[in-house]
Amino acid sequence: MIEAERLPLPPFTLESATEKVRLAEDGWNSRDPGRVALAYSADSQWRNRAEFVTGREAILAFLSAKWRRELDYRLIKELWAFGGNRIAVRFAYEWHDDSGNWFRSFGNENWEFDDRGLMRRRYACINDLPIPADDRSFRWPLGRRPDDHPSLSELGF
């Protein structure tokens, strides 16, 4: 079975890399594991913190568990660098656990795409910072970040 292309396709330009990053952010902010998993190749390889995940089914399980644990998740991604079929991003997201403790998680990701625009490799380094609820910066309604919401750079993150 040949999978559909996920535009934009590599090789990336500044415009297409920026678009790819925003599409990824929008997908993750949906908190829909099935939707998000479709952006990855069937044999995609991940390193997420100290976890190693291989394949779309494992990604689906990973994301389902993540969003059961990380409640009211809101994410901002920002393009850091790109070339050919690779993109580097930095990101931050805010969430709380089931006890109401809030966190801001900061990180960097390196992405590699196949010719169809599916991500075949994702390497993520992430650090969690406990924050008071009143220090939250990501307060838009759950779902896609509004276009007029400040970026990570504008927030000073």
28-51: b (≥16 Cβ within 10 Å) or e? bbebebeebbbbbbeebbbebeee
- Distance in angstroms (rounded) separating the CA atoms of residues 111 and 97: 28
pTM over 0.75: yes
How does pLDDT run along the chain (157 residues), one tens digit per residue? Answer: 677 899 999 999 999 999 999 999 999 999 999 999 999 999 999 999 999 999 999 999 999 999 999 999 999 999 999 999 999 999 999 999 999 999 999 999 999 999 999 999 999 999 999 999 999 999 999 999 999 999 999 999 9
Got the DSSP string for the chain? -PPPP-SSPSSP-HHHHHHHHHHHHHHHHHT-HHHHHTTEEEEEEEEETTEEEESHHHHHHHHHHHHHHSEEEEEEEEEEEEETTEEEEEEEEEEE-TT--EEEEEEEEEEEE-TTS-EEEEEEEEEEEEE-GGG----SPSSSPPTTS--HHHHT-
Q: Which domains are delineated in the chain?
A: 14-155 (3.10.450.50)
